[in-house]
Amino acid sequence: MSDFSLIIAGFGGQGVLFAGKAAAYCALLEGKEVSWLPSYGPEMRGGTANCGVCISDTPIGSPLVTRPHALIAMNGPSLQKFLPLVMPGGLALADSSIIKQMPESPRARLVPVPASDTVSREGLGGVANMLLLGKLLRETGFSVMDTMREALAECVPPRKKDMLEKNIRAVELGFALDG
């Protein structure tokens, strides 16, 4: 894959920025050009948050993602806002545990994923972001699982080292999901 752009969006506190950082680290570890651009409201937790990630084999001219190849939407307002921007033929993953009404998507392939319910059922509450990132990894091949594990080891801060295995398990669970 020579160029890949992604928007991850949801409420503050859902790990939106962390998921984007993990995707960006994958690209760095693979020697790609990368940009990661976070955006969040002043209220952060509970407010809106999103980030854009650009991955390329060549230098990136702008970190702004205006036509993403893929979208991870963790709430309804984010899906409504960013789904129309996804490139024709692109992919949108939506947490159907939270988003009960899926809109029509004539341009992009919209895949409902019960991420929050699945991680709760597996005793991994709080890492729906990582399950969705694992599903994205499987669907797009923007990186490989071994690189994702290495990226997470780099991204999870030492003070939260107990979260590393939980995050890896959620990515693997998302990667294994059918549909």
The continuous run of DSSP H or E covering 38 comes out as: strand 33-40
Do 49 and 38 form a contact (C-beta atoms < 8 A)?
Answer: yes
Intervals of the chain under pLDDT 50: none
Name residue 94's beta-bridge partners: 73, 112
Q: Write down the pLDDT at residue 125.
A: 85
Domains of the chain, start order = 3-176 (3.40.920.10)
Q: Write down the pLDDT at residue 88.
A: 97
The 10s digit of each residue's pLDDT in 9-24 is 999 889 999 999 999 9
